[in-house]
Chain A
Amino acid sequence: MSPEPAAATAPVRPPRKPTPPRKPWPLQLKLGLAITGSILLLGLLAPWIAPHPWDTISMRTRFLAPNATYWFGTDEYGRDVLSRLLMGARLSIGMGVAATLVSLAIGVPMGLAAGYFRGWIDEALMRLADVLMAIPPIMLGLLVLAVTPPALWKTAMAVGFVYIPPIARLARSVTLTLANEEFIQAAKARAESTSYILFREILPNAWPPLIVEASLRVTYAILLGSALSFLGLGAQPPSSDWGLMISEARSFLDRAPWIALAPGLAMCLLVVGINLLGDGARERLDPRLKARLGKA
């Protein structure tokens, strides 16, 4: 605690700068932003910058090794791997973000309610989460997807569904901590409504850890979604989804390993980028909150 400035008499105090000097951005954050940003940009601009059409079949150009025209080579239908890669970037990022938004949209209200109301609501919601968590995520995803004919947007929904419980649990633990803060008591002491307390007092403080967690969850979602595509329960040919590309390339590992390596390495780069971003953001997080929420 720093000492008290004001005496009992009128305060004469030099005006202080309202904000302390900004901490520099951690290296992780810069690196993560650079990697993720450029992949995102490339993916968004793909239709305009792709050197070749991504889906035109050409038997004359099958299995070309990387060269000056086809930087990353061509696949079994003679399609340019680089162009497919660029088109696939938007699919992977889109899938990961959409899935995470689904988990957030359902998980955060669940966690808020469980952590704030406690009692039977908490008990019911958390036991429900336990049941969902009793099946390994990929099997739960398979189970959900088995019901309908596969499509990428359904994969995103399924992945989002699978990752509701961890988000809900985090939201709950953050809410539990915040609900014990004295400023919540102060809000109750002026008869604020429950929705005011939940959405105006608790939620703004719960966002930072949730956003960080969500950014890391995007990588989980990308990995799970691509695994489902890899197993044939996601994007369908001729889509250039990276998981599907790797799956299709499996039969040609001997002849043309580049078809599998390119999307695989791209995915690693993307996931590393987002992870760096998330960890960097965690570093930057309000240290008081970090200390209070511990490892949550």
Chain B
Amino acid sequence: MLEIDDLTVRYRTAGGEIEALSSVTLEARKGSTLALVGESGSGKSTIALAAMGLLPAEATVPLGRILFDGADILTMDAEARRQLRGSRIGLVFQDPFSVLNPSLRIGDQVGEGLVHHRGFTAERAFARAIELLDEVGIVKPEAVAKAYPHELSGGMRQRALIAGALASEPELLILDEPTTALDVTIEAQILDLLEDLRVRRGLTMVFISHNLGVVRRIADEVAVLYGGQIVEQGATEDVLQRPVHPYTKGLLAAIPRIGRRMARLAAIPGRLPDLRNPPAGCRFAPRCPFATDDSDKPQRLLPVGERMVRCSSAEALRETPWPVQQETVSAATGAAPTGSGPVVEVENLTKSFVLSRGALRWERWRPVRDTLSIKPVDDISLTIAPGEVVGLVGESGSGKTTLGRTILRLIEADSGLIRIAGETVSDKPQSALEAMRRAAQIVFQNPDSSLNPRKTIRELLGRPIARFGLAPKSEIPKRVDELLDLIRLPAHYADRYAHQMSGGEKQRVGIARALATQPKFIVCDEPVSALDVSVQAAIVNLLADLRDRLGVAYLFISHDISVVAHLADRVAVMHHGKMVEIGPAEQIMQAPTHPYTIKLLSAVPRVDGPPLARGETVAVDALA
């Protein structure tokens, strides 16, 4: 159906020419699903754009062919390419929030391909759009067709986008991270829908994702990309269970598994090769624990068993696992957890927000307003022991972030009691929180937003020390060095600004800043969710080490249950502002009792465990 042959794509950028794809050869067979997997910068999205003939003007294609049904998309004229797009090839983008035109009705956007490719009238196209919306599982298709994008939830928008891509009955559907912006339960529904459509319509799908668990659920075949090259390609289950290429091994080892608790995750050291000047030899070699002298020679994609692997030592490495670093937990230098009562106690904490204020109306003689409010934190009680990690999971809008910030009084609670390190802080004015601010700190989600871009790392880390007078001025540089050492960054980083570091490095600095006040408790608010898997593993390991060394307690907030399961001693599950279940991590993962927890756990896409029959999920409640 779709054949990509020796495709190379370069982008002209201000810093020089980048080779985004190097000699990629792929084939999507009719009626099957091919997944392209890789971390950011791997070039996977470029493949989608190239296949649609939508590469931006800065891109050049010095080499290669993209054959759709025998015709080369790259050399055909613009009009012929346009005729293919949206007609025989459909594309679904990652972010359902920005790819729908805000000022056109959903029905018009779903049906417009029919008008231009099939000569439908606008009315017929709209009527067909309603049928399509129905087909992708939207409950009130007529109402939704008449709605505008801003009126729909993310999951519904993604369904509408899929409906639009299906309108002119394409033979090939390219999906670029179609579920990344969605919650896991919605993701599971969309994956089921796609599988269902593939079977029913005999679609060919190219599915692009960074998430190996998702890929396992949907793809027949998988191609792993690294630095613009395919490093391994084969049948999905085979590749995921028995990876051959070192990068694939590392990637899989870095993923935390539910129900298989390890002391530490495997991490892949180093960084992506510079694609302005890609190395002639193996691009992964600088990060590879198995690198040999041969690695400097050009590597070719060669068959290994049923599979294609780009590694000269592939045959030898077939059975070798990724090395697991045996972390030597250094002797606790900080205060070991003492048995002196909980570090955090929260009782009946409640916080509500007014969403919208209705119009004024008269009730008898006085005006009233119907206000619509939500309670992201609804009567929550929680204790955290010294040195304990409590994981807090929930989907977007469940109130987990609000809870974390309310405990730290960054958001003021409506009612309830907060006690931190034995001191009741819920009834004090902000000005009297000095001691609590020292004892309780926070690490944020977004490494780009959490560090002031105008300050050096030395200023960022020195400020909390100066603020609380934790060291005389002359000793602050030494303290900063110690902090950098603690988060395993070299001392010369102190002079850098945030924009001179990678995402993972920034996140380390964010952690160091929280540690600077020598806190007893840290709220970690989605600290790894903006990071690639291999980076995520290193940060999770760092957090685990710091807990062991310093005895600091965490409230670890995440939407990713596998990460929480790996790190937390106890897990709390939030849903619509309520804590529906809390208990030891093992127990929650193995034997959840609340129906919502069960649903959440079964929706998580996993890379191990018994393979789910495709299309089989948890009780799908049709629509939110």
- A residues neighboring B (CB under 8 Å): 1-11, 13, 15, 18-21, 23, 181-183, 185-186, 188-192, 201, 204-205, 286, 288-289
Complex partner residue of B496 from A8, A18, A189, CB under 8 angstroms: A18
In the bound complex, do residue B449 and residue A3 qualify as a contact, i.e. CB atoms below 8 Å apart?
no
Contact residues in B for A21 (Cβ distance below 8 Å): 15
In the bound complex, do residue A6 and residue B488 qualify as a contact, i.e. CB atoms below 8 Å apart?
yes
Give the residues from 530 to 555 in chain B that come closer than 8 angstroms, CB to CB, to chain A: 530-532, 534-535, 538-539, 541-542, 545
In the bound complex, do residue A189 and residue B437 qualify as a contact, i.e. CB atoms below 8 Å apart?
yes
A5 to chain B, nearest CB (A): 5
In the bound complex, do residue B454 and residue A205 qualify as a contact, i.e. CB atoms below 8 Å apart?
yes
In the bound complex, do residue B530 and residue A1 qualify as a contact, i.e. CB atoms below 8 Å apart?
yes
> In the docked arrangement, what's the CA distance between A204 and B453, Å?
9
Known: A1-B503, A182-B444, A182-B445. A8 touches B267 (CB 8 A): yes
In the bound complex, do residue A183 and residue B408 qualify as a contact, i.e. CB atoms below 8 Å apart?
no
B452 at interface, CB cutoff 8 A: yes
Contact residues in B for A18 (Cβ distance below 8 Å): 492, 495-496, 500
B176 at interface, CB cutoff 8 A: no
In the bound complex, do residue B434 and residue A204 qualify as a contact, i.e. CB atoms below 8 Å apart?
no
Contact residues in B for A2 (Cβ distance below 8 Å): 40-41, 271-272, 502-503
In the bound complex, do residue B535 and residue A1 qualify as a contact, i.e. CB atoms below 8 Å apart?
yes
> In the docked arrangement, what's the CA distance between A183 and B468, Å?
18
Contact residues in A for B463 (Cβ distance below 8 Å): 190
A195 to chain B, nearest CB (A): 14
Give me the 7 closest cross-chain CB pairs, A-B, nearest first.
A4-B535, A7-B269, A4-B504, A182-B450, A1-B503, A182-B444, A191-B437
In the bound complex, do residue A5 and residue B327 qualify as a contact, i.e. CB atoms below 8 Å apart?
no
B448 at interface, CB cutoff 8 A: yes
Residue-wise, chain B 391-412 has the 8 Å CB interface mask toward A (1 for contact) of 0000000000000010010100
Contact residues in A for B437 (Cβ distance below 8 Å): 189-191
In the bound complex, do residue B325 and residue A186 qualify as a contact, i.e. CB atoms below 8 Å apart?
no
Contact residues in A for B531 (Cβ distance below 8 Å): 1, 4
Contact residues in B for A10 (Cβ distance below 8 Å): 488
Contact residues in A for B281 (Cβ distance below 8 Å): none
Contact residues in B for A186 (Cβ distance below 8 Å): 442, 444, 450, 510, 513
B472 at interface, CB cutoff 8 A: no
> In the docked arrangement, what's the CA distance between A188 and B409, Å?
9
In the bound complex, do residue A19 and residue B500 qualify as a contact, i.e. CB atoms below 8 Å apart?
yes
- B residues neighboring A (CB under 8 Å): 14-15, 39-41, 264, 267-272, 325, 327, 405, 408, 410, 430, 433-434, 437-438, 440-442, 444-446, 448-454, 463-464, 467-468, 488-490, 492, 495-496, 499-500, 502-505, 508, 510, 513, 517, 530-532, 534-535, 538-539, 541-542, 545
In the bound complex, do residue A190 and residue B467 qualify as a contact, i.e. CB atoms below 8 Å apart?
yes
Contact residues in B for A190 (Cβ distance below 8 Å): 437-438, 441, 463-464, 467-468, 517
In the bound complex, do residue B496 and residue A5 qualify as a contact, i.e. CB atoms below 8 Å apart?
no
Contact residues in A for B505 (Cβ distance below 8 Å): 4-6
Known: A7-B325, A20-B500. A1 touches B532 (CB 8 A): yes
Contact residues in A for B410 (Cβ distance below 8 Å): 185, 188-189
In the bound complex, do residue A1 and residue B40 qualify as a contact, i.e. CB atoms below 8 Å apart?
yes
In the bound complex, do residue A5 and residue B467 qualify as a contact, i.e. CB atoms below 8 Å apart?
no
> In the docked arrangement, what's the CA distance between A286 and B453, Å?
10
Known: A183-B451, A201-B452. A8 touches B272 (CB 8 A): no
In the bound complex, do residue B327 and residue A8 qualify as a contact, i.e. CB atoms below 8 Å apart?
yes
Contact residues in A for B264 (Cβ distance below 8 Å): 8
Complex partner residue of A11 from B453, B488, B495, B532, CB under 8 angstroms: B488
Q: List 13 A-B contacts (CB under 8 A).
A: A3-B535, A4-B504, A5-B270, A5-B502, A6-B269, A6-B489, A8-B541, A181-B450, A182-B444, A182-B450, A183-B449, A190-B437, A205-B454
In the bound complex, do residue A7 and residue B267 qualify as a contact, i.e. CB atoms below 8 Å apart?
yes
> In the docked arrangement, what's the CA distance between A8 and B430, Å?
38
> In the docked arrangement, what's the CA distance between A190 and B535, Å?
28
Contact residues in A for B433 (Cβ distance below 8 Å): 191
B158 to chain A, nearest CB (A): 23
B566 to chain A, nearest CB (A): 14
B450 to chain A, nearest CB (A): 4
B535 to chain A, nearest CB (A): 3
Residue of B nearest to A289 (CB): B453
Other A-B pairs beyond A3-B534, A191-B437, 11, CB < 8 Å:
A1-B503, A1-B504, A2-B40, A2-B502, A3-B39, A4-B269, A7-B538, A183-B449, A186-B444, A189-B410, A288-B499
Contact residues in B for A20 (Cβ distance below 8 Å): 500
A272 to chain B, nearest CB (A): 26
Residue of A nearest to B504 (CB): A4
Contact residues in B for A8 (Cβ distance below 8 Å): 264, 267, 325, 327, 538, 541-542, 545
Residue of A nearest to B493 (CB): A18
> In the docked arrangement, what's the CA distance between A264 and B267, Å?
67
> In the docked arrangement, what's the CA distance between A211 and B554, Å?
42
A134 to chain B, nearest CB (A): 27
> In the docked arrangement, what's the CA distance between A5 and B507, Å?
12
In the bound complex, do residue B434 and residue A191 qualify as a contact, i.e. CB atoms below 8 Å apart?
yes
In the bound complex, do residue B449 and residue A181 qualify as a contact, i.e. CB atoms below 8 Å apart?
yes
Contact residues in A for B542 (Cβ distance below 8 Å): 8
A206 to chain B, nearest CB (A): 10
Contact residues in A for B510 (Cβ distance below 8 Å): 186
In the bound complex, do residue A4 and residue B271 qualify as a contact, i.e. CB atoms below 8 Å apart?
yes
In the bound complex, do residue A11 and residue B492 qualify as a contact, i.e. CB atoms below 8 Å apart?
no
> In the docked arrangement, what's the CA distance between A6 and B506, Å?
12
Contact residues in B for A183 (Cβ distance below 8 Å): 449-452
In the bound complex, do residue A23 and residue B271 qualify as a contact, i.e. CB atoms below 8 Å apart?
no
Known: A185-B444, A189-B442. A6 touches B452 (CB 8 A): no
B439 to chain A, nearest CB (A): 11
Residue of A nearest to B507 (CB): A4
> In the docked arrangement, what's the CA distance between A19 and B504, Å?
18
Residue of B nearest to A9 (CB): B325
In the bound complex, do residue A185 and residue B442 qualify as a contact, i.e. CB atoms below 8 Å apart?
yes
> In the docked arrangement, what's the CA distance between A84 and B408, Å?
66
Contact residues in A for B492 (Cβ distance below 8 Å): 15, 18
> In the docked arrangement, what's the CA distance between A1 and B450, Å?
15
Residue of B nearest to A5 (CB): B271
In the bound complex, do residue B467 and residue A191 qualify as a contact, i.e. CB atoms below 8 Å apart?
yes
Known: A11-B489, A18-B496, A189-B410. A205 touches B453 (CB 8 A): yes
Residue of B nearest to A183 (CB): B452
A177 to chain B, nearest CB (A): 10
> In the docked arrangement, what's the CA distance between A7 and B40, Å?
18
> In the docked arrangement, what's the CA distance between A19 and B496, Å?
8
Most buried by A among B267, B454, B464, B531: B454
Contact residues in B for A9 (Cβ distance below 8 Å): 269, 325
> In the docked arrangement, what's the CA distance between A20 and B450, Å?
21
Contact residues in B for A189 (Cβ distance below 8 Å): 408, 410, 437, 440-442
Contact residues in B for A1 (Cβ distance below 8 Å): 40-41, 502-504, 530-532, 535
B67 to chain A, nearest CB (A): 33
Residue of B nearest to A17 (CB): B500
> In the docked arrangement, what's the CA distance between A18 and B494, Å?
10
Known: A1-B532, A3-B39, A6-B504. A11 touches B490 (CB 8 A): yes
Contact residues in B for A185 (Cβ distance below 8 Å): 405, 410, 442, 444
B272 to chain A, nearest CB (A): 5
> In the docked arrangement, what's the CA distance between A37 and B550, Å?
58
Most buried by A among B269, B441, B446, B464: B269
In the bound complex, do residue B532 and residue A4 qualify as a contact, i.e. CB atoms below 8 Å apart?
yes
A25 to chain B, nearest CB (A): 13
Residue of B nearest to A205 (CB): B454
> In the docked arrangement, what's the CA distance between A124 and B556, Å?
41
Residue of A nearest to B541 (CB): A8
